[in-house]
């Protein structure tokens, strides 16, 4: 907004005035069950069901040790920690309990798409 007010960038006008909102009744963080390299299997905004595979943590030194992180609830994946290496007990993923469960993913737009660079 500041750059727009200074006439340094122009913002594209959106045709859509309807906003999609999700009401979260409660959120919870899932913690790493072990140390290793973290790989997500679902993007932020995905609706997940209990038992869905969310992430895998593998040993960076090549052992066969692997931890699979599954969803304990039906809800939405609302945040993912992006640091690739984790230690046991660190926060990895945030799940939100939502009113409505859906198989559709929430479209989370990037603000960079709204910048007109003419």
Beta-sheet strands, E only, within the chain: 10-11, 24-31, 36-40, 47-48, 53-58, 66-70, 75-80, 85-86, 91-98, 115-116
Does this model's pTM top 0.75? My answer is: no
Q: Specify the fold of 16-106.
A: OB fold (Dihydrolipoamide Acetyltransferase, E2P) (2.40.50)
**Per-residue pLDDT tens for 6-60?**
887 877 766 666 667 777 788 999 999 888 999 999 999 899 999 999 999 998 8
* Residues facing residue 39 across a β-bridge: 56
Domain ranges for the chain:
16-106
Q: Please say whether the beta carbons of 86 and 57 come within 8 A.
A: yes
**Per-residue pLDDT tens for 54-101?**
999 998 887 888 999 999 999 999 999 888 888 889 999 999 987 654
**Per-residue pLDDT tens for 104-115?**
444 555 555 555
């Amino acid at each position: 907004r500041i750059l727009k007010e200074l006439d340094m960038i122009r913002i594209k006008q959106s045709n859509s005035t309807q906003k999609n909102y999700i009401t979260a009744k409660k959120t919870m963080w899932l913690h790493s069950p072990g140390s290793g390299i973290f790989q997500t299997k679902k993007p932020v905004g995905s609706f997940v069901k209990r038992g869905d595979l969310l992430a895998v943590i593998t040993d960076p030194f090549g052992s066969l040790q692997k931890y699979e992180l599954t969803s304990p609830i039906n809800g939405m994946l609302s945040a993912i920690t992006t640091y690739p290496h984790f230690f046991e007990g660190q926060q990895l993923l945030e799940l939100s309990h939502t009113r409505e469960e859906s198989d559709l993913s929430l479209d989370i737009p990037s603000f960079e798409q709204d910048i007109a660079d003419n």
